[in-house]
């Protein structure tokens, strides 16, 4: 059975107040068509989990400009002046998380782990309010798992079952996010028949993917 759905049906799965994860690193490996369709639909009060907030005209940055988020959990907002403005003026809650911690919180959320222990952020503001655990004389921060209602992912190719492949640096947060949301939608540049992707080349196995959207070439 093909998991291919229309852009419209895909964005109808995102509801006001949802927590969403969006793949991509400075808009490389981001599902741009899904983002455009969400902006057009105008969903509100979302919580975003994403590596960064992209640019005002690329990636999730377009959703920031459209004021669709009440909260953003991210490692970097420096390439999008609107994120900074919304943060400083108190319009949007922005939680800054070290990138390596953010990806592992997502991995923990998807892979049944109760959290992760990391030295990153010890002795900084990142430590505030968090439990420090000592293991064999070394101190670590306990960072809790993250999950979302919907994950919006990018892929180079998807087969109709949902096996995904990647090119270049587009993987970034996409494979981990595939495991960490209740509904997982992948926008592929190309949708192919089952069997057209060599099993050796599959980066994300189809079991994680609920729906596919044909995004066309970048």
Partner 1 sequence: MMDKQQLQEFIAKRVAQELQEGSLVNLGIGLPTLVPNFLPEGREVIFQSENGFIGLGPVPAEDQIDPCISNAGGMPVTIMPGGSFFDSSLSFGIIRGGHVDVTVLGALQVAENGDIASYMIPGKLVPGMGGSMDLLSGAKKVIVAMEHTAKGAQKLLHRCTLPISAVNAVDLIVTEMGVIEVSHEGFVLMEQNPDFSLEEIQAATGAPLIISAELKQIA
Residues near partner 1 (CB under 8 A) are 25-29, 51-52, 74-79, 84, 87-88, 94, 96, 98-101, 103-104, 107, 118-126, 156, 166-176, 203, 218
Q: What is the DSSP letter of 167?
A: -
Contact, 3 vs 161, CB < 8 A? yes
Query: Least distance to partner 1 from the beta carbon of 24, Å?
Result: 10
* Residue 120 or 149 with smaller CB distance to partner 1: 120
Query: Least distance to partner 1 from the beta carbon of 156, Å?
Result: 8
Please give the structure tokens belonging to residue 177.
């996010």
Question: Which H/E stretch holds residue 100?
Answer: helix 99-110
* Residue 179 or 212 with smaller CB distance to partner 1: 179
Query: Least distance to partner 1 from the beta carbon of 79, Å?
Result: 7
Query: Least distance to partner 1 from the beta carbon of 152, Å?
Result: 16
* Residue 5 or 58 with smaller CB distance to partner 1: 58
Query: Least distance to partner 1 from the beta carbon of 200, Å?
Result: 15
CB-based contacts of 141, cutoff 8 Å, min separation 6: 101, 117, 118, 119, 120, 121, 122, 126, 127, 130, 131, 132, 133
Q: CB-based burial of residue 203 (10 Å sphere; 0-12 exposed, 13-18 middle, 19+ buried)?
A: middle
Contact, 206 vs 170, CB < 8 A? no
Strand-pair partners of 49:
21, 73
For residue 24, give the nearest of 201, 190, 170 by alpha carbon: 170
* Residue 11 or 27 with smaller CB distance to partner 1: 27
* Residue 95 or 194 with smaller CB distance to partner 1: 95
- Angle among Cα 19, 24, 25 to the nearest 5 degrees reads 120
Query: Least distance to partner 1 from the beta carbon of 4, Å?
Result: 22
* Residue 101 or 149 with smaller CB distance to partner 1: 101
Query: Least distance to partner 1 from the beta carbon of 101, Å?
Result: 7
Strand order in the sheet with 116-118: 116-118, 138-143, 132-135
* Residue 99 or 190 with smaller CB distance to partner 1: 99
């Amino acid at each position: 059975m093909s998991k291919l759905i229309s852009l419209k049906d895909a964005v109808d799965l995102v509801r006001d107040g949802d927590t969403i994860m969006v793949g991509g690193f400075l808009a490389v490996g981001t599902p741009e068509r899904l983002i455009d369709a969400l902006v057009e639909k105008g969903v509100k009060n979302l919580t975003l989990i994403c590596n960064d907030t992209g640019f005002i005209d690329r990636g999730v940055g377009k959703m920031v400009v459209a004021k669709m988020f009440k909260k953003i959990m991210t490692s970097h907002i420096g390439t999008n002046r609107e994120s900074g403005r919304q943060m400083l003026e108190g319009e949007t809650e922005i939680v800054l998380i070290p990138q390596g911690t953010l990806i592992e919180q997502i991995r923990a959320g998807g892979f049944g782990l109760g959290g992760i222990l990391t030295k990153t952020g010890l002795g900084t503001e990142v430590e505030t309010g968090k439990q420090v655990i000592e293991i064999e004389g070394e101190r670590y921060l306990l960072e809790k798992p993250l999950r979302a209602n919907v994950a919006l992912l990018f892929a180079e190719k998807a087969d109709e079952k949902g096996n995904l492949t990647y090119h270049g640096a587009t993987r970034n947060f996409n494979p981990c996010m595939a495991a960490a949301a209740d509904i997982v939608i992948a926008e592929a540049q190309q949708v192919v028949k089952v069997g057209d992707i060599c099993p050796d080349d599959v980066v994300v196995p189809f079991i994680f993917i609920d729906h596919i959207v044909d995004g066309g070439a970048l």
